[in-house]
Structure 1
Amino acid sequence: MMLALVASGCTSRVGEDAERELPYEQSAGPAGEVPPELEEFYAQTLTWEKCADYATGEFDSQPLADPAVECTRLSVPLDYADPSGETIRIGVLRRSAGDESERIGSLMVNPGGPGVAGLSTAASLAAENEDLADRFDFVGFDPRGVGSSEPTISCVTGEERDADRADDSELDASPAGVARAEQENRDYAANCEQRTEFGSDMLANLGTRDVVKDMDVLRSALGDEKLNYVGFSYGTRIGSTYAETFPDSVRAMVLDGAVDPNKDPVEEVVAQGKGFQEAFDDFVTWCLDQQDCPFTSASSANADYQSLVRPLAESPIDVGDGRPLSYEDATTGTVQALYSEQLWDHLQTGLNELRQHRGDTLMMLADLYLERSTDGEYTTTQDAFVAIRCVDDPRVTDPAKVAEVNERYKAAAPFLDDGNPPSTARDSCAFWPVPNTGQPHLPQVEGVPPILVISTTGDPATPYQAGVSLAKALNGALLTFEATQHTVFLQGNPCVDEAGTDYLTDGTLPSEGTRCQP
């Protein structure tokens, strides 16, 4: 539950139980190791102020109105190879530890994406997890180019994204359809470069390679010699990359919903398709035990689903305000619901609505996934997701390889087969204006203390085996959660939360083979 709106002249406790009126300046760094030529960044003074002005939309306005949190912006080099050049600013939130006498340090949190803003996540998790919030300052940050950080990645307007969602022409695998799709993807890449401040320089220095360097500057500026970190989903890639880049600066990490750092991006996509099919199958099993399930049997569920959503490609459903529910929106809404069993009721309702030629619930789920507000505006997440992925991973530029990937994905997730031949259209990354800066590899983490990896058996987005592989690569411990959902730590499961909290506070890892259940 969030607290009331910020009142004028609010105060925030920092340091030895002192209360300081916002805004105030604080210089806590440098702490720990400082790379050469970056002293001014590691030792910078931070100006803490109320967080309300850091909200970028209705999705984070309530958590950032909590008077218990304070925010600042951290200055970092745009290009770490040229620290005397242009600078950018990273949005940061902090909720101070509840028990100053037992305080361990800061606990940095990243919710994943890539491209998801982190301020509201940290505020919400701190408010809901008192035991851990007593021992640590919860710290959230918006990675460079994201949310309240400046500048942000900007590629399309809200109206342009709405129009793209309504257009299912990308399903056309004919030569003309492929040419049209590739031109749209070229235009998107060009727009990202033209509409983002610093253009190609910003896009070139946006990836995980640079985010972990920003994190190390933040660690020092907050006065922490070592990093404590919780990363979800893509945030696990940030964690493993930080551990490899700054092995001597890690105290403890919990990585939940792992991305396998050594898996080829193509194989990762196919594995994710398999994960969503398994989650869909679990949903079907649950649905068949409910009243008014839209499926006739488990064996026919894929075909039943396709019969409901495929017609939308030719005949979208008007949901009001001039918005049509397209095939793309229906499948996006379905995928959103498969992230958590808590949304299965909504998915059942949405599929039954399709039988009545209505699309309100699936559109609501798609808007939730794409972070569209009621006024038609979108967060930066989708643009940042593409831009980060394009520099983090190798590109697929061979049309034949593209077709192979699409065919394998449809085979892995047959419920999402649109009934068309696999397209050869290359995505925006194939036309990206800057080279990629990352490659899949096993992280070299010699000297890093044990890391706790949490993996969920039925995770649709980051399959269970990826967590097994990451724990092995990091010489860490694996905690297994037996459920169908994406990530679990600090979300109310006592078994998982107690294990993670014990590890973060005193370094105690769960016993080998520990498994938790809902």
Structure 2
Amino acid sequence: MYSRRHPSTARRRAALFAAAAGLLLVGIPACSPKSSQAAEGTLAALPSSDEARLRTYYEQDPKWRKCGAPGFECATLKAPLDYDKPSAGDIDLAVSRKKATGPGKRLGSLLVNPGGPGGSAIGYLQGYAGIGYPKEVRARYDMVAVDPRGVARSAPVTCLDGKQMDAYTQTDVTPDDRGEQKKLTAAFATFAKGCETKDRTSRRVLPHVSTVEAARDMDLVRAAVGDKKLNYVGASYGTFLGATYAGLYPERVGRFVLDGAMDPSLPARELNEQQTAGFETAFQSFAKDCVARSGCPLGTGTPHQAGQRLKSFFTEVDAAPLATGDADGRKLGESLATTGVIAAMYDEGAWPQLREALTAAMTKRDGSGLLALSDSYYERDADGKYANLMFANAAVNCLDQPPAFTSPKEVEEALPAFEKASPVFGAGLAWSALNCASWPVKATGEAHRITAEGAAPIVVVGTTRDPATPYPWAKALAAQLSSGRLLTYDGDGHTAYGRGSDCIDGAIDTYLVSGTPPRDGKRCS
């Protein structure tokens, strides 16, 4: 399934972190160690004795050094590989910060996470949040990020090399016959085996990259920076990570913003199906805008008719892939074309680029524009190298919940529901959800509610036409959290904070700086 990350802001502001999202795999991650999940399916707080048991980790004094752009510092923290068995050894967590600039009294640290799972929080901090968050926020907080375990600089999971990933991303995810089904399941199996065997770090960390473990790591960061409570802004999957922290440590919740929220109570299949509907909602919004313009590559008429034309185009490039001019000889088949379109659904600022790319592909048989969108989504650079986003995404998702599907037969049975959710994307997203069936590590978590009883107010933000984290998820999470406050953005794109709504930005900035949360149910446009 497609990952849930903060969208690329490079189209809206200069020099911002590119977080367009990464393709993959299953739906939302869920709980991890069974000891932290109550019998009734609600995440339970950890006992107060837990910190004493892990005292050596909580008493670390990080050695900060200059890194990255001016003003940023980096350090390394130790975390137990296995929280249930600290004697099993440690992993290194990469942490970065930029100290509060003033004026005004320092309010502590503000931890940020862009989502994924698999997005580099340090990349997000140094490329965007540490320079692009409002001045009044950066003046009062030390801006802090930790790459979650398995991600980027923190014991990263590695699965395939660049050439292997190129082949994987071009695999047909709408198989037309049994032969193509076998090729798809073989690709998933090769990917999964690579994650287990590619290198020693991956093999060692693969059973221990759950969201619960990453949330527990966040508490080590809180202690290391000297804060009694954690202040946090999480986007997309980062909302699930933050909500999990709140469920485990409700009394340590400071000022929390969960933007582009996820619903942890839904099992993987339902999450995949609902996300599929989210992409259809976003596409319909794009199509409505496109067909009203002169020269729309999807023609005139209704958004539904535009969707039919796009689906026909996908069928055409499945049969006859387009030239792209790529140095590595890649052509644009259905899988890369679909990913390119989906990438643009995360940010309405990308719609002009998508119209141009579709025009070139549909009228000139030039697939380079859609390939560029797909590459940005996969975090593939010009040299053919991939960031570890894709690998970490699968590793976390497949550990956090049992697979959405375990066999091609189950996918075939679900196809009508997925195609109803999205006539354009449904089949491909259904088959993509089969990836965890081959995973070498058994899932340790399952769907559950998070109430975080006793936590301070938590602001949950939802966008009405969000493709990757559908708006109903925000409503569900806000209702689950005992102190949830729902803030709604009536608009397009993935997430809301920093996307141009003065109403949204003002409500969140006021909360972060003064501690006054918006009223529950507040709506902005």
Tell whether the structures are fold-level matches, with TM greater than 0.5: yes
Aligned partners of 1:456 and 1:487 also within 8 Å: yes
Does residue 50 of structure 1 match 2:66? yes
1 CA distance for matches of 2:199 and 2:443? 18
- The residue correspondences of 1:14-93 to structure 2 (distance < 5 A) are 35-52=51-68, 66-93=69-96
Does residue 512 of structure 1 match 2:524? no
Aligned partners of 2:239 and 2:261 also within 8 Å: yes
Q: 405-414 vs 475-484, which deviates more?
A: 405-414
- Cα deviation for residue 175 of structure 1 reads 2.6
Aligned partners of 2:287 and 2:307 also within 8 Å: no
- The residue correspondences of 1:141-290 to structure 2 (distance < 5 A) are 141-149=146-154, 151-168=155-172, 170-290=173-293
2:416 is matched with which residue? 407
Letter in 2 for 1:137: D
2 CA distance for matches of 1:407 and 1:352? 30
Instruction: Provide closer, same or farther for how the CA distance between residues 34 and 137 of structure 1 changes in structure 2, counting only shifts above 3 A.
Output: farther
Instruction: Provide closer, same or farther for how the CA distance between residues 428 and 196 of structure 1 changes in structure 2, counting only shifts above 3 A.
Output: farther
1:25 is matched with which residue? none
Say which one has the larger Rg.
Answer: 1
Instruction: Provide closer, same or farther for how the CA distance between residues 333 and 224 of structure 1 changes in structure 2, counting only shifts above 3 A.
Output: same
1:56 is matched with which residue? none
Aligned partners of 2:79 and 2:217 also within 8 Å: yes
1:375 is matched with which residue? 383
Post-superposition Cα deviations, 1:409-434, rounded to whole Å, max 9, x if no partner, equal: 2221112256x9986x9833112222
2:492 match: secondary structure: coil
Post-superposition Cα deviations, 1:326-358, rounded to whole Å, max 9, x if no partner, equal: 211111010010111100001111111112101
Aligned partners of 2:158 and 2:202 also within 8 Å: no
Letter in 2 for 1:387: A
Identify which of 342, 347, 356 aligns with 1:340: 347
- Cα deviation for residue 398 of structure 1 reads 4.5
1 CA distance for matches of 2:426 and 2:438? 26
1:29 is matched with which residue? none
Instruction: Provide closer, same or farther for how the CA distance between residues 99 and 428 of structure 1 changes in structure 2, counting only shifts above 3 A.
Output: same
2:108 is matched with which residue? 105
1 CA distance for matches of 2:230 and 2:509? 15
Post-superposition Cα deviations, 1:291-331, rounded to whole Å, max 9, x if no partner, equal: 21122211411221122222111211121211211211111
1:13 is matched with which residue? none
Does residue 387 of structure 1 match 2:395? yes
1:47 match: secondary structure: coil
Letter in 2 for 1:364: A
Aligned partners of 2:272 and 2:429 also within 8 Å: no
2:414 match: secondary structure: helix
2:469 is matched with which residue? 462
- Cα deviation for residue 2 of structure 1 reads 5.1
2:20 is matched with which residue? none
Post-superposition Cα deviations, 1:162-218, rounded to whole Å, max 9, x if no partner, equal: 1222343x4324233223322222222111111142454411111101100110111
Instruction: Provide closer, same or farther for how the CA distance between residues 98 and 334 of structure 1 changes in structure 2, counting only shifts above 3 A.
Output: same
- Cα deviation for residue 40 of structure 1 reads 1.4
2 CA distance for matches of 1:70 and 1:506? 26
2:406 is matched with which residue? 397
Letter in 2 for 1:35: E
Letter in 2 for 1:341: E
Q: Aligned pairs, how many? A: 472
1 CA distance for matches of 2:442 and 2:99? 40
Letter in 1 for 2:169: R
Letter in 1 for 2:462: S
- Cα deviation for residue 387 of structure 1 reads 0.8
1:314 is matched with which residue? 319
Does residue 450 of structure 1 match 2:457? yes
Aligned partners of 1:70 and 1:95 also within 8 Å: yes
Aligned partners of 2:150 and 2:157 also within 8 Å: yes
- Cα deviation for residue 464 of structure 1 reads 0.7
- Cα deviation for residue 394 of structure 1 reads 1.5
2 CA distance for matches of 1:158 and 1:407? 35
Question: TM-score, normalization: structure 2?
Answer: 0.86
1:302 is matched with which residue? 307
1 CA distance for matches of 2:203 and 2:330? 34
1 CA distance for matches of 2:478 and 2:84? 31
Aligned partners of 1:173 and 1:421 also within 8 Å: no
Aligned partners of 2:157 and 2:201 also within 8 Å: no
1 CA distance for matches of 2:430 and 2:250? 43
Instruction: Provide closer, same or farther for how the CA distance between residues 422 and 134 of structure 1 changes in structure 2, counting only shifts above 3 A.
Output: closer
- Cα deviation for residue 513 of structure 1 reads 2.8
Please report the RMSD computed on the Cα atoms of aligned residues, expressed in angstroms: 2.1
2:339 match: secondary structure: helix
Aligned partners of 2:504 and 2:524 also within 8 Å: yes
2:441 match: secondary structure: coil
Q: Could you tell me which runs of 5 or more consecutive residues in structure 1 were left unpaired when the two chains were aligned.
A: 4-31, 53-65
Q: 137-146 vs 190-199, which deviates more?
A: 190-199
Identify which of 121, 127, 136 aligns with 2:124: 121
2:153 match: secondary structure: coil
2 CA distance for matches of 1:323 and 1:385? 24
Aligned partners of 1:125 and 1:490 also within 8 Å: no
Instruction: Provide closer, same or farther for how the CA distance between residues 33 and 131 of structure 1 changes in structure 2, counting only shifts above 3 A.
Output: farther
Aligned partners of 2:281 and 2:465 also within 8 Å: yes
- Cα deviation for residue 51 of structure 1 reads 2.4
2 CA distance for matches of 1:407 and 1:324? 30
1:90 match: secondary structure: strand
Instruction: Provide closer, same or farther for how the CA distance between residues 172 and 421 of structure 1 changes in structure 2, counting only shifts above 3 A.
Output: farther
Q: Could you tell me which runs of 5 or more consecutive residues in structure 2 were left unpaired when the two chains were aligned.
A: 1-13, 17-47
1:20 is matched with which residue? none
Instruction: Provide closer, same or farther for how the CA distance between residues 225 and 508 of structure 1 changes in structure 2, counting only shifts above 3 A.
Output: same
